Structure 1
């Protein structure tokens, strides 16, 4: 059965504009002018992406999302809104139920690319559900392609995180969760536009707020795929800070799951020892270690920092000598 992109909007021009753009794709576009009709389509066809437009009034979006999720749990949803409804729609985006929000007037190519990204997310969720280790790692590497500055990032983070996990004598199951969480910690970036990921310089507030959603979006993907709790924790909380000033939940100290605290140390270390689009300064190994040490108790768990620094100076475990490293602020992106 051919997969379906479902458009819930009164404007037939959306479907008309998208049809030629997807003419060469093995996919079908369908339109519904009511939630009832949409649910009928969902029950009889394979709907992989849903564009919610003006058929659903903003106050009814949460209940409509619940009904659509019940009927098509893995369908990725895009919300198309008018600017005056934007504030009332943000909660749906923040909940993780909406993959991307587009404010009218829409442009056909932008909507097409957003739908293409949504189709990719759908593939990721299904792949994760059946994934072996090779597939999980490959997915992490594929996600890196959205951001050329992070090539090899997931493998390096996994190596650094496992260095800490093994020093703590964690169980094989915990180490597996940390490895998988390291590979997938940035999987939510499939929902972040590439112009934000690759922006040269410091992001403005609205764009940074979009970027800050990637842990929540990634955790939702992992939940849909029924991954282990430890993996979800690493994805969701790898931007929490030990002092409670991180995101998305503002957790503090040991309230941050251990898997996330470990992955955060590894993630930050890799961020300051590799090139990023928003900083250029190169640090030596000793300078990078000093920076990590200075973050203990604020950004990072001080006990994990101590363990990490005791081991990272071993031969072969420092930053690659050919990789430039960034200057502070350290892990903005």
Structure 2
């Protein structure tokens, strides 16, 4: 009876189990279904044809179950293979993007290195941009992104006439119009790199002006993406404090005065004040670290 079926269930759970009873008992049937994996309960009297139909039906169901199990195993295997293929594809795509980005960064560094007056500019802009981002209490991921944007902000100058880029005097109108294209060109260069989608607006709009007189789109105020506003301040500060063939770089104090003067005209005042706070803190810390002259 049911005890035998329980033993069969424990040893051979996939075996079809039919209980034929000459003493119909509801409790026995329920127990067998719940504890012995019973497939059918048949009480006397039974018809031979009905019994044949029951057995045939159960055999078909068992065959379908085995087929489904094989299909499920095959599907799981294929899913595993697909996940592995997607992982490898993602890694390969990342390697291509990293190689592309490394090539761009190398070109940017090589471009700056050709002129001793601009050497290191992007690295400094990157550092200043991260300082401003931290001063604005931006999340760590955004701070790192700003650092990357700073490194790449002038990438659009690749391929431009070096004589124009390094011209010691004032640019002609035609030359200036050409140089004004570098933010757009930079955005186009980085567009194929999907992982840099969040960098593009900061590069394309870092020459926009708070009062709307910048380029390329003449954006104004809060319409300018925050990364672009930050890069604008960082880029301008480095330009102010760097020496060029035609002028001596300003001191930090002079640059601070100029940034404050241009706040709400060229710059976002929040970015300016966040930067100045950190600059003054660093200048003070540097002064305190200097050895003092001995006295009487």
Tell me the TM-score normalised to structure 1 length. Answer: 0.53
Match of 2:51 in 1: none
Pairing 1:314–2:281 present = yes
Asked if the contact 1:189/1:214 (under 8 Å) is kept, the reply is yes
State whether structure 2 residue 262 is matched by structure 1 residue 284.
no
- C-alpha contact 1:147 1:197 (8 A) present in aligned 2: no
SS in 1 for 2:141: helix
- Give structure 2 stretches of 5+ with no counterpart: 1-93, 286-296
CA deviations 1:275-306 (Å, max 9, x no partner) are: 234x3134222111111111101110011111
Map of 2:241 onto structure 1: 273
Partner of residue 146 from structure 2, selected from 171, 178, 200: 178
Question: In structure 2, do the counterparts of structure 1 residues 195 and 248 end up closer, same or farther at CA, with 3 Å as the change threshold?
Answer: same
Q: 2:111 aligns with which of 135, 139, 143?
A: 143
Could you say which residue in structure 2 is the equivalent of 1:188?
A: 156
Q: Which has the higher strand share?
A: 1
Q: CA deviation at 1:314?
A: 2.4
C-alpha distance after superposition, 1:232-251 (max 9, x if no partner): 11210111101110000100
**SS in structure 1 of the partner of residue 282 of structure 2:** coil
Rg larger in 1 or in 2? 2
What's the counterpart of residue 220 of structure 2? 252
Is the 1:178–1:230 Cα contact (8 Å) retained in structure 2?
A: no
Q: Give the secondary structure class of the aligned counterpart of 2:122.
A: helix
Residues 1:299 and 2:263 are matched in the alignment: no
Measured in 2, the distance between the counterparts of 1:285 and 1:251 equals: 28
Cα distance in 1 between the residues matched to 2:142 and 2:178: 31
For residues 106 and 284 of structure 2, the distance between their equivalents in structure 1, rounded to whole angstroms, comes to 23
User: What is the aligned length?
Assistant: 193
2 CA distance for matches of 1:226 and 1:269? 30
Q: Give the 3-state SS of the residue equivalent to 2:243 in structure 1.
A: coil
Are 2:128 and 1:163 equivalent residues in the alignment? no
Query: Match for 2:170 among 191, 202, 226?
Result: 202
Which structure carries more helix by proportion? 2
Which residue of 215, 230, 235 maps to 2:183?
215
Q: Identify which range, 248-257 or 161-170, moves more after superposition.
A: 161-170
Paired residue secondary structure (1:300)? coil
Using the alignment, how far apart are the partners of 1:245 and 1:265 within structure 2?
15
Residues 128 and 272 of structure 1: CA distance in aligned 2, closer, same or farther (over 3 Å): farther
Q: Do residues 224 (structure 1) and 192 (structure 2) align?
A: yes
User: Deviations 1:248-287 (Å, cap 9, x if unpaired)?
Assistant: 010011111111111110000000000234x313422211
Distance 1:179 1:256, change over 3 A: same
Pair 317,300 (structure 1): closer, same or farther in 2 beyond 3 Å: farther
- 8 Å CA contact 2:108, 2:155 repeated in 1: yes
Distance of 2:284 and 2:103 partners within structure 1? 25
186-195 or 223-232, which deviates more: 223-232
What does the per-residue CA deviation read over 1:204-224, in whole Å, with 9 as the maximum and x for residues that have no partner? 100110010000101100102
RMSD (Å) for aligned C-alpha atoms: 2.7
Using the alignment, how far apart are the partners of 1:209 and 1:311 within structure 2? 35
Question: How many angstroms does 1:142 deviate by?
Answer: 2.4
Distance 2:267 2:218 in 1: 13
Give CA-to-partner distance per residue, 1:37-76, whole Å, 9 cap, x none: xxxxxxxxxxxxxxxxxxxxxxxxxxxxxxxxxxxxxxxx
